Amino acid sequence: MSESVPRKRNEPSPLRGTTVPMTRLRRVIAQRAVASMTSMAQVTSVVEVDVSRVAHLRDRVKAEFLRTTGHRLTFLPFFAIAAAEALRTHPIINAIVDGDDVVYPDRENLSIAVDTERGLLAPVIRNAADLDIAGLTAQIADLAERTRRNRLQPDELAGGTFTLTNTGSRGALFDTPIVFQPQSAILGTGMVVKRAVVESAEDVEAIAVRSMVYLALSYDHRIIDGADAARFLATVKARLEEGAFTRDLGIEVR
Bridge partners, 198 (sequence order): 207
Residue tagged active-site, from 142, 225, 228, 248 = 225
Q: Print the SS3 string covering the chain.
A: CCCCCCCCCCCCCCCCCCCCCCCHHHHHHHHHHHHHHHHCCEEEEEEEEECHHHHHHHHHHHHHHHHHHCCCCCCHHHHHHHHHHHHHHCHHHHCEEECCEEECCCCCCEEECEEECCEEECCEECCHHHCCHHHHHHHHHHHHHHHHCCCCCHHHHCCCCEEEECHHHHCCCCCCCCCCCCCCEEEEECCCEEEEEEEEECCEEEEEEEEEEEEEEEEECCCCCHHHHHHHHHHHHHHHHHCCCHHHCCCCCC
Catalytic, out of 132, 221, 228, 248: 221
Q: Is 225 labeled as catalytic in the residue annotation?
A: yes
Query: Using CA atoms, how far apart are residues 115 and 238, in angstroms rounded to an integer?
Result: 29
Amino acid at the residue 38: T
Q: Is 221 a catalytic residue?
A: yes
Backbone angles phi, psi at 180, to 5 degrees: -100, 130
Q: Which residues are catalytic?
A: 221, 225
